[in-house]
Each structure stands twice: as C-alpha cells, then as structure tokens.
C-alpha cells in the first residue's frame, strides 16, 4: 500500500469518526428535552450543521388532513415562511417523499423538471434534501435542508441523516405525548375548555403582563340561566350535552387570542388580552347571542327557545388595577345580571355602580 493510499484511508476514517461524533451530538440534542418547539429547533439546527446547509425547516405532517404545518425554520426569508400550513400537492416533491418514505434530494432545482414550486424557486433554493421523520412506520414530519447553490450531497452523510431522522421522529413522538399530557392536565374533559386550575394561573400571568406593558385587559364571566331546571326537565345527560355545546359555541365565537375556561359547574370565563371594556362588551354580546341561537338550533328538537346566559364584563385598568378586585367586580356583575332578569350583559359603565 502506497503512502498516498494510507493517507487517503486515514482521511476517510477520520471523516467517518467525525461524522459519527456529529451524529452523537445531534442525537443528544434531540433527546435532551420534551418541549416540542425546542425539540424541533434542535433537530433543525443540528441537521443543518451536520449536512452543512445554510437554511432549512421542519414541518409536522397530519395524515388525516394530508397537511403540513411549519414549526421550525432557519436561514429563510419572512415571505417564504409566512405560510404556516399547506396541503400536500399532487405530483410534488413532498408527495414523493411521503409516498416513498425515504430521503430524497435534488442537486439542482433548475435542472429538475418536476420541481416547480414557485415559492422555493423565488427564494433561490437550488439544492435540497428532504428527510421523512418516521416513527413506527408513520411519517410524523419532514426535515428540509436547503442550499442556495447547486451542489453534490455526500452519500455517506445522507445515510447517516436517516439515523438522525429516527432519533428525531422518536423525539417528536415523545414531545407530542408530553404536550398532550400537559394539555389534559389543564383541560376540562367535558367542554374542551381550560379548567379552573389553569384559569387562576393564566389570569395572574395575563394581569401581570397587562401591567408590565401598560395594556388593557378584560374578563367576561357568564353563567347558564336556569341550568338546574334544564337538568330536571331533560335529564343529566342532556345537561352534559348542553355544557359540551357551550364549550363548542364559546370557542367558535371568541378570537384566537382570547382564552376560554370552564370555571365550575355551568360558569364560564373568557380572558381577552389587550382589549378595552367597550370591545369586551361587544364580545360578550356576541357570546350571549351565540349561546341563545346555537342552543336553540342544536339542543332540543321541536323547540326554538335557546338556553340563555347572564354575563358580567370588567376591564383593567378601567374598573380595577388588582386581580382580586377585577374578579370580584365581574363576579358581582354576573349575579346582578341574573337577579335583574337574566339573558343580559352587565358592566359597570352601563350601570354606574361603585367599584367598592
């Protein structure tokens, strides 16, 4: 064996050792946390360093909807990543990756006839690797590694990327289970809304944020009118169905930034960040109307009388600047609405009642 051959073999071994060390570092990174977003960012950062690409992204795949959801990205423009969800296009690169379940790469997008993604071409992506993330024979996501110049990919590194993908898919699965478990702990099983325990935590957090950044903040509290009578008339199973429907109607009516809770029994709360009293009252009226119309249409056949709610609304800083005071005010307004006829939205400005 010549000296040149020995040097070449040594360099090859050193390269393989380095690649394996890199892979071990990647594996350590992706199994070091159970937070899903942290896991995905770790996967992307490690894979980009390992494959030596300047850009990339990770999208989770939802088989039932044939849809991808962007969760981590690096090195890409705001225009490229502004679309957070997209359906799998027939005949496209992603569909090929999903169908084959194997790593797929393109060394020059301009020389690849089937690659006709205008967004990627406008971004200037000239070469890329798509790595399916597979757990128990199910694709849970896709890792995209992008370069802005044509290039030849190292085949050994591509093979090692498949090992990385296995670690990554397992980490995604574990993080997703952890997230679901945490969500169950703060969710009311019947209504699908957040529970009382989480309300106290979130209320304190949002109140502190409103004070820190000098932002308005509102709270809506409502109670189903004559719930006991409804239970007695139609039975407890129908009562449960009513509460379940309340959760659906509330979530359909509020904004994405608002957060809804089942406070207890037939009482519900909605927290509205960065919302002044005037806008919160309008939101409360929409909720009152949505409950009355929605329950009339979907609860008891042969009647057009919906279930109603009594509602209180209060805001920081208009009505109070302390959390307990704000809660006591909205609670009092709710029960004042019940005593004064039900199916009403009450707030201090309209009633001109004192704050103490």
Is 302 a residue whose pLDDT tops 90?
no
- Is 337:312 a contact under the CB 8 Å cutoff? yes
List, for residues 198-252, the tens digit of each pLDDT value: 999 999 999 999 999 999 999 999 999 999 999 888 888 888 999 999 999 999 9
Contact between residue 29 and residue 46 where contact means Cβ atoms under 8 Å apart: yes
User: Is-catalytic flag, 266?
Assistant: yes
Ranking 19-28, 37-46, 129-138 by mean pLDDT, the lowest is: 19-28
In DSSP terms, which residues pair with 55 in a beta bridge? Answer: 146
139: nearest Cα among 73, 80, 95, 74: 95
Sequence-distant (6+) residues with CB within 8 A of 296 are 303, 304, 305, 306, 307
**What is the average pLDDT score of the chain?**
86
173: left (phi over 0), alpha (psi -120 to 50) or beta: alpha
Whole-number Cα distances in Å, 31 to 11, 183, 332:
30, 21, 49
Helix (H, G, I), strand (E, B) or coil at 273: strand
Q: What percentage of the chain carries pLDDT values higher than 90?
A: 50
Find, among 77, 35, 74, 32, the residue nearest to 53 by Cα. 74
Q: For residue 176, name the pLDDT band (cuts at 50, 70, 90).
A: confident
Average pLDDT for 266-275: 96
pLDDT-derived band at 355, boundaries 50, 70, 90: very low
- pLDDT for 317 equals 94
Q: What per-residue confidence (pLDDT) applies to 194?
A: 93
Tens-place pLDDT, residues 139-160: 999 999 999 999 998 887 888 7
Task: Indicate the pLDDT class of residue 29, thresholds 50, 70 and 90.
Answer: low
Q: Within the chain, where are the H helices?
A: 3-30, 36-51, 78-81, 93-100, 118-123, 155-185, 196-212, 227-234, 236-253, 277-298, 323-339, 348-351
Residue 297's nearest CA partner among 244, 243, 234, 245 is 245
What number is the average pLDDT over the span 260-285? 95
Which carries the bigger pLDDT value, residue 186 or residue 290? 290
Q: What is the pLDDT of residues 86-144, one digit of tens each?
A: 888 887 888 888 888 889 999 999 888 888 888 888 999 999 999 999 988 889 999 99
Q: What is the value of pTM for the model shown?
A: 0.58
Q: In what order do the strands lie in the sheet with 259-264?
A: 259-264, 267-273, 217-224, 309-316, 345-347
What are the angstrom distances between the C-alpha of 272 and each of 269, 284, 294, 329? 10, 11, 22, 16
Does 21 or 308 have the greater pLDDT score?
308
264: left (phi over 0), alpha (psi -120 to 50) or beta: left
Look at residue 171 and tell me whether its pLDDT is greater than 90.
no
pLDDT in the model for residue 318: 93
Q: Which of 11, 14, 84, 266 is catalytic?
A: 266
pLDDT score for 248: 94
């Amino acid at each position: 064996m010549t000296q040149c051959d020995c040097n070449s073999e040594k360099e090859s071994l050193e390269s393989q050792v380095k690649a394996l060390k890199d892979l071990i570092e990647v594996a350590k990174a992706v199994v070091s946390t159970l937070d899903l977003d942290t896991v995905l960012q770790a996967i992307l950062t490690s894979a980009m360093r390992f494959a030596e690409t300047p850009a990339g992204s990770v999208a989770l795949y939802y088989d039932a909807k044939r849809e991808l959801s962007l969760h981590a990205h690096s090195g890409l423009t705001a225009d490229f990543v502004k679309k957070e969800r997209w359906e799998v296009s027939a005949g496209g690169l992603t569909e090929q990756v999903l169908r084959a379940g194997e790593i797929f790469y393109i060394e020059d997008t301009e020389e690849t006839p089937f690659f006709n993604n205008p967004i990627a071409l406008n971004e200037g992506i000239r070469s890329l690797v798509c790595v399916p993330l597979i757990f128990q024979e199910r694709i849970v996501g896709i890792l995209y590694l992008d370069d802005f110049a044509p290039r030849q990919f190292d085949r050994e590194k591509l093979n090692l990327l498949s090992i990385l993908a296995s670690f990554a898919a397992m980490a995604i699965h574990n993080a997703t289970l952890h997230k679901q478990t945490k969500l169950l702990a703060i969710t009311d099983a019947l209504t699908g809304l957040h529970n009382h325990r989480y309300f106290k935590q979130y209320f304190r957090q949002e109140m502190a944020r409103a004070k820190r950044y000098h932002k308005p903040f509102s709270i809506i509290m409502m109670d189903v009118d004559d719930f006991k009578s409804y239970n007695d008339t139609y039975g407890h199973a129908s009562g449960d169905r009513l509460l379940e429907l309340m959760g659906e109607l509330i979530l359909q009516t509020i904004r994405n930034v608002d957060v809804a809770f089942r406070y207890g029994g037939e009482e519900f709360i909605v927290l509205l960040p960065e919302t002044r009293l005037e806008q919160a009252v309008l939101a409360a009226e929409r909720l009152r109307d949505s409950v009355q119309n929605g329950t009339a249409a979907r609860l008891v056949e042969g009647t057009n009388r919906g279930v109603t709610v009594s509602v209180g609304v209060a805001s920081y800083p208009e009505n109070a600047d302390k959390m307990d005071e704000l809660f006591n005010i909205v609670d009092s307004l709710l029960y004042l609405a019940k005593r004064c006829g039900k199916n009403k939205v009450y707030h201090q400005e309209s009633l001109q009642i004192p704050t103490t």
